[in-house]
Amino acid sequence: MQFNTEFEAETGRPVAVAHGTMRVTAPNAGPYTFKGTNSFIVGTDSVAVLDPGPDSDAHLEALIAAIGGRHVEAIIVTHTHLDHSALVPKLKAAVRAPVWSGGPHRLSRPRRQFERNPVGRESDWQHRPNRVLQDGEQITVGGVALEAIATPGHCANHLAFGLLGTPWLLTGDHIMGWNSTLVAVPDGSMADYLHSLEKVIGLGYSSYLPAHGAAIADGPDYARALLAHRQERNRQVVAAVEAGARRIGELLTTIYPRLDPLLRGAAAMTLKAHVEYLADRGLIRADHGVLGTRISPASR
């Protein structure tokens, strides 16, 4: 994979990025958020705000300045991780707009006994939208037509949004150009993520606007590369298990020997999602207990 880490965020400033769409990047740069969360203001005479971002008064002021007194028809959320939705209550109070999303935060599957949700504290369990958007639903805000596209995997209620009649797809965290997407079970699902990648590739949108980092010019080719990258990671996990790896930490050392320490946690979470995916398909064996997951070849 070739990732694009060259991105001038222009934090707090509105930047025109597509038809009737401006980006305003929040001041929450970090190892999981890159240069910060991209909020999008969609529309002309009236607007919608997509992904208000983290609970930041500075970002709230930047969004209100970019809105410029225009009527806000809706606050739209791609998914309910706090770096995307925490600002919703304050923005809703300021602009008096309804909230639309894929529904309350939910897990991709029930937690197993003794299992911890590693991103539970980063999830917005209080989120209650005024309107739950369905897969394929079309909406118009500020004169711009949008198509809601269910893309679970990173998060169970994740939606992408196509700008109908244009090449542009707002991908949220499903596809990002600066890095591959975190998939952490049971919050997310590798099976759902791979299926959603295949779905997006076939939609016909040629350019992607992610929630972190720069625009992706050739979106479908990049998504195909992401899919191949994940399939190769599946093969690496199977090979490592057959070579003797029995714990997630051993997979991490084998597959990511020179990884930045700040990213080891995310890599371990995603490896666990790969393990669950492979075990569900009988390609390896995974036994879950109070001390964590023990893995072994499928033949044993």
Concatenating the DSSP letter of every residue in the chain gives ----------TTS-EEEETTEEEEE-S--BTTTBT-PEEEEEESSEEEEE---SS-HHHHHHHHHHHTT-EEEEEE-S--BHHHHTTHHHHHHHH---EEES-S---SSPPPTT---TTGGGB-TT---SEE--TT-EEEETTEEEEEEE--SSSTT-EEEEETTSSEEEEETTS-SSSPPP--TTTS-HHHHHHHHHHHHTS---EEEESSSS-BSSHHHHHHHHHHHHHHHHHHHHHHHHTT--SHHHHHHHH-TT--GGGHHHHHHHHHHHHHHHHHTTSEEEEEETTEEEEEETT-
Confidence (pLDDT) at 291? 84
Do residues 256 and 269 make contact, with C-beta atoms less than 8 angstroms apart?
Answer: no
Confidence tier at 250 by pLDDT (50, 70, 90): very high
Q: What value, to the nearest 5°, has the Cα angle with vertex 254 and ends 249 and 259?
A: 80
How many C-alpha atoms does 2 have within 13 Å on its Cβ side? 5
Condensed to tens digits (0 to 9), the pLDDT of residues 160-173 reads 999 999 999 999 99
**135 pLDDT more than 60:** yes
Confidence tier at 299 by pLDDT (50, 70, 90): confident
**What span, in angstroms and rounded, lies between the C-alpha atoms of 9 and 182?**
21
Condensed to tens digits (0 to 9), the pLDDT of residues 89-133 reads 999 999 999 999 999 999 999 999 889 999 999 999 999 999 999
pTM confidence score? 0.96
**What span, in angstroms and rounded, lies between the C-alpha atoms of 166 and 161?**
12
Question: Over pLDDT 70: what percentage of the chain?
Answer: 100
Output Rg (C-alpha) for the chain, integer angstroms.
19
Q: Does the N-terminal peptide bond of residue 210 adopt cis geometry, omega within 30 degrees of 0?
A: no
Contacts of 297 (CB under 8 A, 6+ apart): 241, 242, 284, 285
Summarize the confidence of residues 175-184 as an average pLDDT.
Answer: 96
Condensed to tens digits (0 to 9), the pLDDT of residues 207-238 reads 999 999 999 999 999 999 999 999 999 999 99
Confidence (pLDDT) at 85? 98
**86 pLDDT more than 90:** yes
Question: Counting beta carbons within 10 angstroms of the beta carbon of residue 121, is it exposed (0 to 12), middle (13 to 18) or buried (19 or more)?
Answer: exposed
Helix axes 219-242, 264-280, angle to 10 degrees: 80
